[in-house]
Amino acid sequence: MSVLEEAPPADGPGRGTAALRGRNSLPITEIRSGRGLFDLDLGAVWRFRELLTTLIVRDIKVLYRQAALGAAWAVFQPIFAVAIFTVVFGNFARIPSDGAPYAVFAFAAVLPWTYFAEAVRRSSLGLVQDAELVRKVYFPRLVMPLASVIAPLVDLAIAFVVLLVVMVLYGVAPTWRLIAIPPLVLVTALLALSLGLWLGPLNVRFRDVKHTLPFLLQVWMYASPVIYPLSLIPEHLRWFYSLNPMVGVIEGFRWALLSKGDPDVTALAIGAGMTVVLLAGGLIFFRRMERFFADLI
Amino acid sequence: MTKEIAICAEGLSKRYRLGSAGTAHDSLRDLLASGARALMGRGRTPRGNSQRQAFFALRDASFEILRGENVGIIGANGAGKSTLLKILSRIVEPTSGRALVAGRVGALLEVGTGFHGELTGRENIYLYGAILGMTQREIAAKFDAIVDFAEIEQFIDTPVKRYSSGMYVRLAFSVAAHLRPDILLLDEVLAVGDAAFQRKCMNFARELQRQEATILFVSHNMFSIKAMCTRVIYLQSGRIEYDGPTDPGIEIYERGAHLSVVPWSKDNPDDWAVELTDIELSDQAGKPKSVFDFGERMKIRLRFNARERLEAPNVMVAFVRSDGVASNVYATDTDKFVMGAVDGEGTLELTTSPLKLVAERYVIHVLFRMRGTQRLLCAQVGRSFHVRHEEFDPLNYGVFHEGGEWRLARARKFDEDFCESRNVAAP
């Protein structure tokens, strides 16, 4: 891969640059190739925080624009998904639901999963979708996957309210355990972000990602306890199953919402650990790759 | 006190490898392997089987630009002009070398930058402003000025996907310009939009210039380069060929463009059936010159090489004003001149009518077309020449000048009417 080649080290600062640095009333930006491995320059993202909020608002606005039902889709989508799961898996296949009404049991998992899948999809494909921006304007590219992960939180919040209503209808009372939801959402968002940081740059280079992603997400959903309970997995395989970081998250949601059993701390710890590793690697990978985006996109 | 330096570039280079994008060679495995190497800090990919031809879009460019300077970047297509602007605006990274840039950079590279079709003009102004690094408060403060300048008041709440391309450009330029950048990079943007808006942009750019903004301006339009820039950087195949005052720079550029392909053609000149090998301009006595007096006849001698036998092609000689407008065209067909069959080398001579074009610089474009089918056989830029006249300039006399006959008719009657309507006695 040609463009990945490192440039020879630049010569020492010449007379001109010294003069420029010496007396200048304006802030100076240095343009050069290459950066240190851990020079993530997250400060740049902070400086562009206004762009981040603008992009988030744009994503939210654009999503339901020119849809006759508008934001009502955010309500219908999870309801449809849960209704189908309840009929097919709850009523026909009679999959156990750990004692809770199947609809509530499924909804508690569909909630984080829908958000996760949407956030991964958007953060992975967003760079290419906004190719015009990448090709023609400079800004820290990290802003794009960040916005992609934050924007669908609005849908999540709406779906959460719907879930509370459904819970009341089924006679499942929310408890103080709901306070566990925000940190769980944070873990989900960071996990989605880290996947976007890996898949986004890959998609810039190989559009295969776009075609593989729906398939990958579908497999991933069935590999997570969305339509069935964790208790269905044989005890001795649990640790392996829990290497899927979404296992801990989904079980955490069920624990917080359904008020049954104890939290699966091991699964959650494994999930959080995986997230941290993926995120750190993803940040480094993304920053390494972002300088070639405009050349390749 | 000496002026501050706004941009300082040292040995900027950008290398691309031909065919590197999307060829079968680039497998995911290759990428992961070299990505891993890069991550390990040993970035150099081993040569060997992945050796492909590299080319430098920009090579070892070094220059200093002072605050408030307006610099034109000129050169043929693919000479590296856009690459230079993209590096300075941080969209692409240089392969080697470095640059220091002082202050806020606003770049307008091509058109429509960053607009989202589903969003309205209003929303896009905020989006685009944020992309360019403005705060929401700054944008709100300048919102009216931006809309006003772009002349899109009544469409401000319409999704921009319904905008015309002209409205698009106007809005994009307007936002970028109101960013009040310390350095403004403009890439051929003014080539779109209508003449009135172009003039408006030029005035705005001059306004920015007065406020000590530095402007880098890429254009094929030597007219606007001359109007805006005191200095030009002429790029040829990625290298800086000339860096200095505008007029000699443009002259060198045009000498370089001699016999090159016309700017609007995307054909490969090797595929053309005819090649223009030389062009000579002289007065009627045959003395070569490049400045002609208004009313003088010009003799143009075209030497060409026909690579195949051609039945009586139609040859057109166009005088193109420096802003790209073809002002006068001679054609063998319209002059009922039939060349007969040509094959191999030949020389064609044209003696013009007395020149009536106003005093300006004109470039000669030469076109060979097949009669009937209009197949393009050749389209090359020949020489340029000046028309000299003390009075007839483009500003006051338009494109060409020809005298007319005047007569004052019904003067007496007019006076009577005039007086009657005023109720005063006729003189």
Exposure string of A168-206, with b = 16+ CB inside 10 Å and e = fewer, is eeeebeeeeeeebbeebbebbbbbbbbbbbbbbbbbbbb
Q: Are residues B249 and B287 in the same domain?
A: no
pLDDT tens string for chain A (297 positions)?
333 333 333 344 444 555 566 556 777 888 877 666 666 677 788 888 888 888 898 888 877 776 666 677 778 888 888 899 888 988 888 888 777 888 899 999 999 999 999 999 999 998 888 887 788 778 888 999 999 999 999 989 999 999 999 898 988 888 888 899 999 999 999 999 999 999 999 998 888 888 899 999 999 999 999 888 888 888 888 888 888 999 989 999 999 988 776 777 888 888 889 899 999 999 999 988 887 887 877
- On whether residue A10 sits in a domain, the answer given is no
Helical H runs in B192-269? 195-210, 222-228, 246-257
Residue B324: CATH number of its domain = 2.70.50.60
- On whether residue B332 sits in a domain, the answer given is yes
Going by pLDDT thresholds of 50, 70 and 90, the confidence category of residue B40 is low
Q: Are residues B72 and B126 in the same domain?
A: yes
| pTM, entire model | 0.71
**Pick the residue with more confidence: B36 or A26?**
A26
Q: Is B310 helix (H, G, I), strand (E, B) or coil?
A: strand
Q: Are residues B215 and B174 in the same domain?
A: yes
- On whether residue B39 sits in a domain, the answer given is no
**Pick the residue with more confidence: B2 or B402?**
B402
Residue B99: CATH number of its domain = 3.40.50.300
Quote the pLDDT of residue A43: 79
CA atoms within 13 A on the CB side of B395: 3
Question: Do residues B100 and A31 touch, judged by C-beta distance below 8 A?
Answer: yes
- On whether residue A23 sits in a domain, the answer given is no
Question: What are B156-183's pLDDT values in tens digits?
Answer: 888 888 888 778 878 888 887 787 788 8
Quote the pLDDT of residue A291: 79
Q: Are residues B231 and B359 in the same domain?
A: no
- On whether residue A195 sits in a domain, the answer given is yes
The total domain count for chain B is 2
Partner-chain contact A137 B28, CB within 8 Å: no
Quote the pLDDT of residue B120: 86
The total domain count for chain A is 1
Mean pLDDT along residues B7-14: 91
- On whether residue A62 sits in a domain, the answer given is yes
Question: Do residues B87 and B14 touch, judged by C-beta distance below 8 A?
Answer: yes
β-strands B214-218, B70-74 pairing: parallel
Q: Are residues B99 and B178 in the same domain?
A: yes
Query: Is 70 exceeded by the pLDDT of residue B243?
Result: yes
β-strands B376-388, B70-74 pairing: unpaired
Residue B337's contacts (CB-CB under 8 Å, 6 or more residues apart) are none
Angle A265-290/B28-39 helices, nearest 10 degrees?
90
Q: Are residues B231 and B282 in the same domain?
A: no
Residues of A in contact with B111 (CB under 8 A): none
Chain A and chain B share a number of CB contacts under 8 A equal to 196
Partner-chain contact B8 A37, CB within 8 Å: no
- On whether residue A216 sits in a domain, the answer given is yes
Residue B340 and residue B406: Cα distance in Å, rounded?
Answer: 45
How many residues are recorded in chain B?
427
Q: Measured at the alpha carbon of residue A118, what is the angle toward residues A115 and A121, in degrees to the nearest 5? A: 145
Q: How buried is residue B164: exposed, middle or buried, by Cβ count under 10 Å (0-12/13-18/19+)?
A: exposed
Question: Do residues B132 and B179 touch, judged by C-beta distance below 8 A?
Answer: yes
- Taking each continuous run of H as one helix and of E as one strand, the counts in chain B are 10, 17
Q: Are residues B85 and B184 in the same domain?
A: yes
Residue B371's contacts (CB-CB under 8 Å, 6 or more residues apart) are B311, B312, B313, B314, B333
Query: Which chain B residue lies closest to A141 (C-alpha atoms)?
Result: B91
- On whether residue A154 sits in a domain, the answer given is yes
- On whether residue B181 sits in a domain, the answer given is yes
Q: Could you tell me what percent of chain B has a pLDDT over 90? A: 19
Closest CA to B357 of B320, B331, B304, B332: B320
**Pick the residue with more confidence: B327 or B419?**
B327
Query: Which chain B residue lies closest to A281 (C-alpha atoms)?
Result: B39
Question: What are B181-239's pLDDT values in tens digits?
Answer: 888 888 876 655 566 777 777 788 778 878 888 889 888 777 778 888 889 999 988 89
- On whether residue A164 sits in a domain, the answer given is yes
Partner-chain contact B127 A54, CB within 8 Å: yes
Mean pLDDT along residues B407-417: 66
- On whether residue B192 sits in a domain, the answer given is yes
- On whether residue B28 sits in a domain, the answer given is no
Q: What is the DSSP letter of B48?
A: G
Question: What are A46-64's pLDDT values in tens digits?
Answer: 888 888 888 898 888 877 7
Partner-chain contact A17 B10, CB within 8 Å: yes
Domain of residue A51, residue span? 40-296
E strand intervals along chain A: 28-32
Question: Do residues A295 and A205 touch, judged by C-beta distance below 8 A?
Answer: no
Quote the pLDDT of residue B112: 54
Per the structure block, which two tokens stand in for B339?
């060349």
Residue B339's contacts (CB-CB under 8 Å, 6 or more residues apart) are B312, B313, B315, B332, B348
Q: Measured at the alpha carbon of residue B206, what is the angle toward residues B203 and B207, in degrees to the nearest 5? A: 85
β-strands B96-102, A28-32 pairing: antiparallel
Query: Is 90 exceeded by the pLDDT of residue B318?
Result: yes
- On whether residue A14 sits in a domain, the answer given is no
- The phi and psi torsions of B42 (rounded to 5 degrees) equal -110, 80
Q: Are residues B247 and B305 in the same domain?
A: no
Residue A203 and residue B57: Cα distance in Å, rounded?
Answer: 25
Of the candidates A31, A34, A62, which has its C-beta nearest B116's C-beta? A62
Residues of B in contact with A10 (CB under 8 A): 10-11, 96-98
Q: Measured at the alpha carbon of residue B390, what is the angle toward residues B387 and B393, in degrees to the nearest 5? A: 65
Taking phi over 0 as left and psi of -120 to 50 as alpha, with beta for the rest, B100 belongs to: beta
Query: Is 50 exceeded by the pLDDT of residue B336?
Result: yes
Question: Do residues A110 and A82 touch, judged by C-beta distance below 8 A?
Answer: yes
Domain of residue B121, residue span? 5-21+53-256
Identity of the residue numbered B59: R
| Shortest Cα–Cα distance, B143 to chain A (Å) | 16
Quote the pLDDT of residue B119: 81
β-strands B341-351, B299-311 pairing: antiparallel
